[in-house]
Structure 1
Amino acid sequence: MSDQNLLRKMWHIPHLVLIVLMCSNVWAFNGELAELECPDDCDCHYFRVNWMTDCSDSNLTEIPYDELSLNVYVLDLNDNLISDVQPFPADIKMRRIQLAHNSMTEVKKESFAGLNYLIDADFSGNRITKIDPDAFDDSPGFITLELQSNPLAEVEGPFLSIKSLLYLDISNCSLRRLNENFFSNITSLSTLDLSENPLNVIDDNKGFYPLISLETLKLSHCNLSWISNDAFSKQGRLKTLELSGNNLYKTDWSAVLNNLIRLESFDLRKSGLVHLPETMFDMNLYLRTVILAENDLINLDVASTLGNLQQLDVLDLSYCNLTLPLSEDAFANATKIRTLYLSGNSLFASDLLVALAPLTNLNKLSLSNCGLSRLPDTFHKFLSLQELDISHNPLNDAFVKLLAPLETLEYLNMGYSNLSYIHPASFSKMTSMRRLVLSGNDVNSLEAGLFGDLTRLESLELNFCGLRRPLNATLFFNNFTYTDLTELRLAGNPLRVSPTGPLLPKQLSRLQTLDLGNCNLTFLPAEAFYWTRNITNLILMGNHFSYPSDLRFLEILPKLEMLDLRYNNLTTFSPKQISLNPNVEKLKLIGNPWKCDCSVAELWDWAHLIKGDLSILEGSTIAAEHITVGKSKRKKLLACHYDTVKQPLPIVISKTVPGRKPFLKSQRTLTASNRTWAKYVRESGCEPMPTLQRTARAAIQPEGYVSDEWVHMKLAHHQQNTWALAALNSIMVYVALMSILGLTYLISQKRTNQPISDKDN
């Protein structure tokens, strides 16, 4: 059989499989994938193509087992009062459970029996002292366990028995000792975080010996004073080692690092080092990142200690109290360094002139807070230098001659440099500049023509500069549009805004991102953005906007995509405020004193039914960052409050409302005046506004007359239809992958002269 015949045969396979899957998908869409169960105290929705049940921050004392859908993918129970976990319903398909910040004291095997699909679990921030080593025996694909911030008791023998475990976080768990069998039954671990445990020493008890697959080890802030020479002798695959925040001045580094020949990243920030042996990195020739910042390396000879690291890409020596002058051979052998941090050391321009000369590949240089009053005349040698940070230096006003060589620089940060005046010719030759940071300088007024030559500028930051008025036209060339300048940040300036007229000049007509956060604004005129109608991202957080009528300026921003109104004084907001901004994709409204009334439901329905995506309201539902391994799961959610001074908390009676999931109980008594928007909308009984229904009807009805019942049905299943489309896309990707695998197999059989059976065909 030729390869072409094989291809013809394989062509029919995905079509047949796709037909079968599409038919089964129709059945599932009408049955299993119909509106799933949701506990009364939770918010449930599809996240990507998976059913999410968010019961976080609901004052729960027990898990609502009887109300859970068997198809739940992620169950979020963070920030409750749950102390005991009972067995879950049989056949539940849960992949991830989040029980962070509860009152658990033990992880028992019977609690998680039968969870055959479980992959990840997060129990961080509880009161757990004991864990059954066999707790996840019924979860053969279990790979991630987060237990950080629990007061674990001392362990005798193996800590866990999970052969499949790849990621374990037991940081800040009060562990003082690791017995030599602690890791003996989790030998597949690739990432281990032991940070913030008072281990004091890593001795010769062979505790790390079983972890032969380990690639990342974190031991930061463990009060370590000593590490034995053989502690990591079996970790030949280790690529990342973090030891910051310890006191390791007694450690024999040459011996400890001797076996880590594959080490690529090494972090010793703030570890009490006062001396580094010249042979420290002799066996670590693949090191690309070395962080030695915040150690008292007074007598460090850079050339002797780091001279052999010819693959070094990132070196951080910031705040090391370097007193020996940087010699001309300091970086003579490490010429591949592209990122160098020297901030926080007392340096002289003359020393930098000779020491930096070999670093012709330098891409990023940080000389922040180095006491520099002038710069070395060496930047013309750095043909690849793109980023320079000289902030927090007493540079005063002497710039023109010092900055003249920086003609190829793309990013310059000279914030907080004690500037009160900037000469108008300071940036005249820096025509490649794309980002300029001048924040933190008390420049009450800016000279005419200051930014005129920066015709390629993309981002300009003038935060906290004491500016009383926005930028005016004289700062730029007349009759010239700065087409690349798309970002302007003016946060933290006490701006005084005129009651009428444009805020910014015509030269900035291509502006897309504008930051006016914390500018003490109570209003902006309706014509504020007359010349800057291309704005897509507008940041107004931390101001004093109180009424929707304060936001009339939004009417002339047709391209607006993101509006940030966090931490203002708004109590209500309606879709009509952004009806002339059809491209809005993100509204940030957290931190305002929202009232629990039907205006909240109106905005919710607008996002859900008209925009087709609840995530447009940041903080409305669970997001990707809330289920990311290794990060804080605490969410800031949109919340409103009942005015309990004027009326008591209402008794919620279950109502049938289009687009809302019904409650399982007929009525419920609220116990807290603060409600998340998700919970309030569900329990409020607020009907979708007639204008939203008409808009939805116009968007989805067929030709001819359509009844209100039909519209209600469509509204109720709008989100479900969106999910079905995503599911179909996933199926098609799966079929394509399987077809490729099958084709590869058959062709390989042909080319190796292996017979192709009827079963193979």
Structure 2
Amino acid sequence: MTTACPSVCKCDVSMWNSAQWKYVNGTNCSNASLATIPSGLDPTITILIISYNNITKVKNYEFYQMKLTELNRIDLSNNGLAIIETHAFRGLLKLQELRLQNNRISILQPDTFVRIFFLVRLDLGGNYFSQTHPNIISKNFKLKYFNIGNNKLKSIHPNLFKNNAELLSINISTNFLYELHQNIFSNNHELSYLNVSNNKLQTLSAQIFKNNNNLWKLDLSWNSLTKIHHEMFKNNVKLSFLYLHHNKIAELHQDTFKNTNLSSIILSDNKISYLHPRTFENNKYLKNVDIDNNNIHSLSADMFKNNIILENVYLNDNRINVIYENMFNHNPNLTNLFLSNNNIEKINQDTFKNNKNLLYVSLKNNSLTIIHPDTFKHNLNLRHLYLSNNKIQSIHPETFVNNTELRYVYLSHNEISEIIPKTFKNNYRLSSLYINNNNISHIDLETFASNTRLWILDLSENKIINIHPDTFSNNHYLWIIDIQRNRINNLHPDTFRNTTNIRKLVAGGNKIAYIHPNIFRNNNNLWVLDLSNNNISFINPDTFNRTDLSYLDLGNNRITFLHPDTLKKNIYLQELYLNSNLITSLQPNMFKNIPNLWKLDVSDNKIAKIDINTFYNNSKLYHFNASSNNINYLDPELFLNITNIRIIDLSHNNLTFNNESPILIAPKLKILFLSFCNIEYFPIISFQNLTALQKLSINDNRLKFIEFETRDKPLKRYHIGRNPLQLLEKLKDLEYLDISNNNLTRVTLNFVRRHKKLSWLSIRGNPLVCDCVLQDLWKWCFQHHARTRTGIAACDNPNTCTWSYVRNLRCQDNSQTLSHLTIVQYQCVC
């Protein structure tokens, strides 16, 4: 008779049963928001998954009473489980795997697992244990896999694993262990994997692993070990993977790894300054060595002499100043070699002659001045070569002649003045070439002729004056061309005629004065175009017609006018930068065919007016920057149809406002900058339509009043009871307010206390009177500040008036003042 499957579960799911070494049908009740173990489960099931629920307690005999005695595997992980009663798993005589990781268990009774005689795997990782009873697993003689990592253990009893002679794997990582008893693993002769990483160990006994003859992988990383005794691994003849990185080891004895079977050793991020030439002498199976980020000045030429199958060597971030020519002579399988961030001045031409399997070489950030043309002659499989950030002055044309598999070459940030045309002639598979930040003044039209698979080409920050129109004629697959910050004064209309797949062109920071209207005629895949920081004064309206631009930067040029049809065909354009030009006006129809426009920057021009219909079709506009122009008035309805607008910067203009109208109608606007606009006053209804505003900067204006009518009388007609209606009354979400450097003499508590979300307020640089009214504001600042940050901001200048003066005023009423404290400048950051 088959028991019905609970509705929240999936029954008869094929799962791997490690005990039976085959797939069996199990029940999966995970992610079902269960608070208890579901009833109605088939008593014959062997696997039960109830992870990712809300079960906080497992009661005594709960599984036994549900007749689930055939269970072989239970997964209760990720539940928030806090309590497991002593007899919760009693009666489960066939249970072999119990997963309790990632819960909130802080204590287990010593008899919790005592009757689970055949338990093989127990996972207690990611809980809240600060200690464990020495007998918690003392009766689980068959236990092979134990995890109590990622807890809060400060110590482990020496006898915890005493009776678990069959243990193969132990994980006690990510705890707070300061020491381990030398006999803690003495009875675990079968132990193969041990993870003690991410603890606070400073020392380990030389005898701690003496009985672990089967130890295969050992992780001691991320501790504070200062020394490894040279006999610590004496008996670990099967040790293949050893992780000692991120410790404080300063030296290693030459015999430390003598008896091991190391395949991979990680020693990075220590303080090692010297390695004896015989350190790895007996490790004939060594494949991976990582000694990154130490203080090594030199390595013996015989360092890797006996490691004939060595594949990967990491020596980055040391102080190595020389690599001996025969150092890698005996490593024919060497594949990846990392020597970056050292002080290497020279590489002998024969250094890599025996490394015919070399795929990846990194020598960046050294002091190399020359690369001999035969240096990579024998590395026929080389694919990645990093030589950037050196002092290389030239590249011989024969340097890469044999490297036909080369894909990535980095020669940036050197002192190269010339690239001989045939330098990359044989590199047919070259896809990425970086020659930026050098002293190259000329590129021959044949330089990249053979690199038909070139995908990225970076020539930026050189001294190139001219680019021949045939320079890229064979590079049909080029996606990215970067020629920015050179001295190019002209681009021929045929320069990019064959780069039909180009996606990104960066040509900013040159001296280009004119862009021919046909220059991009074949670049219909062009997405990103940067022509900023040039001398362009005119853009033909047909220039971008055949492109697929989403990003266009024309900033920092000399453009005075843009024809309304200039962007007519660029319907996918999202970001447009016209900043720092000489534009006097924006044509009303200029952006009408750009429905996806997201960001527009027209700052630092000479714009005096923006027509109300300018952004009529730009409903997706999010960020608009018109700062540093000559705008004196904006129609409040300018952004009426733009429900997506969130950021507007109008700072550094000369704005005035209509008394009867709000400054803008943009109910979803989050950030508004109105600083440096010579504003003398705001009408009371200025911000009533900006109810979502979170950040407001009105600093560095000429405001004399912020709470009252600026024309010499209070706002009597805007009173609610006896409280005047505040200028920022509607801004309930305001978090940041800058009213600094105005002419305000008074800011009262009434002005700020209605803004419960306000967390940053700047009022420095105002001639505020130091009186009891100001003390009320100080109290408000203190209360808000204390919730989120430590300390209290103090007054800046002058020194005679500080927050401490204001704080210590004896205020019985709000009329008391200190006559000698007439000026205060400070910033309150809450």
- With normalisation by structure 1, the TM-score equals 0.54
Counterpart contact for 2:418–2:442, Cα < 8 Å: no
CA RMSD of superposed structures (Å): 6.1
Matching residue of 1:627: none
Counterpart contact for 2:590–2:614, Cα < 8 Å: yes
Distance 1:410 1:128, change over 3 A: same
Distance 1:112 1:203, change over 3 A: closer
Aligned positions of 1:490-639 closer than 5 A: 506=689, 509=692, 577=787
Displacement, 1:233? 3.5
Distance 1:65 1:232, change over 3 A: farther
Counterpart contact for 1:245–1:271, Cα < 8 Å: yes
Matching residue of 1:620: none
Counterpart contact for 1:223–1:247, Cα < 8 Å: yes
Counterpart contact for 1:458–1:487, Cα < 8 Å: no
The alignment status of 1:429 with 2:567, answered yes or no, reads no
> Which of 616, 635, 638 does residue 453 from structure 1 map onto?
616
Distance 1:280 1:118, change over 3 A: closer
> Which of 387, 399, 411 does residue 243 from structure 1 map onto?
411
> Which of 198, 204, 207 does residue 53 from structure 1 map onto?
198
SS class of match (2:475) = coil
Matching residue of 2:479: 313
Matching residue of 2:504: 339
Counterpart contact for 1:445–1:467, Cα < 8 Å: yes
SS class of match (1:353) = coil
Residues in 1 aligned to 2:567 and 2:533: alpha-carbon distance in whole angstroms: 21
Distance 1:122 1:390, change over 3 A: farther
Counterpart contact for 1:74–1:97, Cα < 8 Å: no
Residues in 2 aligned to 1:106 and 1:134: alpha-carbon distance in whole angstroms: 11
Matching residue of 2:467: 300
Larger helix fraction of residues: 1
> Which of 180, 188, 202 does residue 64 from structure 1 map onto?
202
Residues in 2 aligned to 1:403 and 1:32: alpha-carbon distance in whole angstroms: 66
Counterpart contact for 1:492–1:518, Cα < 8 Å: yes
Distance 1:321 1:574, change over 3 A: same
Give the residue type in structure 2 aligned to 1:197. N
Matching residue of 1:394: 558
> Which of 451, 468, 474 does residue 636 from structure 2 map onto?
474
> Which of 122, 129, 149 does residue 26 from structure 1 map onto?
122
The alignment status of 1:99 with 2:269, answered yes or no, reads yes
Displacement, 1:173? 2.0
Residues in 2 aligned to 1:403 and 1:528: alpha-carbon distance in whole angstroms: 41
Q: Which has the larger radius of gyration?
A: 2
Aligned positions of 1:13-162 closer than 5 A: 21-22=97-98, 24-27=120-123, 29=125, 32-34=147-149, 35=151, 53=198, 64-66=202-204, 72=220, 74=222, 83-84=250-251, 98-99=268-269, 104-108=272-276, 121=290, 123-124=292-293, 126=295, 128-130=297-299, 134=303, 143=312, 145-148=314-317, 150-159=319-328
Counterpart contact for 2:277–2:299, Cα < 8 Å: no
Displacement, 1:353? 1.0
Matching residue of 1:257: 424
Matching residue of 1:667: none
Counterpart contact for 1:502–1:531, Cα < 8 Å: no
Residues in 2 aligned to 1:210 and 1:492: alpha-carbon distance in whole angstroms: 65
Cα offsets for 1:413-453 (capped at 9, x unmatched): 42641469654837552542433242763789985748743
> Which of 196, 200, 204 does residue 369 from structure 2 map onto?
200
Q: Which residues of structure 2 form unaligned runs of 5+?
A: 1-13, 27-45, 48-71, 75-95, 100-119, 126-135, 137-145, 156-172, 177-194, 210-217, 226-244, 648-667, 708-725, 742-749, 765-780, 794-830
Displacement, 1:266? 1.0
Give percent identity, aligned residues only. 16
Displacement, 1:369? 1.0
Counterpart contact for 2:541–2:563, Cα < 8 Å: no
- Tell which has more relative contact order, 1 or 2 (C-alpha 8 A, sep 6+): 1
Matching residue of 1:412: 575
Aligned positions of 1:205-284 closer than 5 A: 206-254=374-422, 256-284=423-451
Give the residue type in structure 1 aligned to 2:340. S
Counterpart contact for 2:332–2:354, Cα < 8 Å: yes
Q: Which residues of structure 1 form unaligned runs of 5+?
A: 1-5, 56-62, 558-562, 579-588, 596-761
Count residues with an aligned counterpart. Answer: 537
Displacement, 1:484? 8.6
Give the residue type in structure 1 aligned to 2:599. L
Counterpart contact for 1:162–1:186, Cα < 8 Å: yes
Distance 1:283 1:336, change over 3 A: same
Distance 1:210 1:403, change over 3 A: same
Displacement, 1:331? 2.2
Aligned positions of 1:369-380 closer than 5 A: 369-379=533-543
Displacement, 1:307? 0.8
- With normalisation by structure 2, the TM-score equals 0.51
Distance 1:494 1:65, change over 3 A: farther
Matching residue of 1:322: 488
Counterpart contact for 2:618–2:642, Cα < 8 Å: no
Give the residue type in structure 2 aligned to 1:33. I
Matching residue of 1:291: 458
The alignment status of 1:169 with 2:338, answered yes or no, reads yes
Displacement, 1:404? 5.4
